[in-house]
């Protein structure tokens, strides 16, 4: 028996998912334990139901900007992306 696959689109990206998968997607304005519904991009008419597990921030990515011929030439920069972790519950 094969698993059902679905392709969902959110945040300008597409994800190949199966039932039970936990994926990290761009931050959505949804509460923890909230229900989400995506359309299945493979057939265009099916629905994919997901549950929000948590809202988290990724580890910090640090970098430096170098400006030539200035005293403060190395300027540190950091960034943490906010993501939403969801669990795929049903593909219909």
Overall domain count for the chain: 1
State mean pLDDT over 60-87. 89
In this prediction, residue 9 carries a pLDDT of 93
33: domain range?
Answer: 5-91
For residue 2, is pLDDT > 60? no
Tokens representing 68 are: 């030539």
Strands 35-39 and 74-79: unpaired
pLDDT digits (tens, 9 = 90+) for 11-39: 899 999 999 999 999 999 999 999 999 99
Instruction: Evaluate whether 86 touches 51 at the Cβ level (below 8 Å).
Output: yes
- Give the predicted TM-score (pTM) of the model: 0.78
State mean pLDDT over 29-50. 90
pLDDT digits (tens, 9 = 90+) for 75-87: 889 999 999 999 9
Give dist(CA 86, CA 17) in Å, integer. Answer: 11
For residue 1, is pLDDT > 60? no
């Amino acid at each position: 028996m094969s698993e059902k696959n679905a392709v969902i689109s959110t945040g300008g990206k597409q994800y190949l998912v199966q039932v039970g998968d936990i994926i990290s997607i761009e931050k959505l304005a949804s509460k923890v334990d909230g229900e989400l519904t995506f359309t299945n991009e493979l057939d265009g008419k099916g629905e994919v139901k997901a549950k929000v597990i948590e809202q988290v921030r990724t580890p910090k990515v640090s970098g430096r900007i170098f400006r030539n011929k200035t005293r403060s030439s190395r300027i540190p920069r950091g960034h943490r992306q906010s993501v939403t972790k969801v669990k795929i519950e049903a593909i219909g």
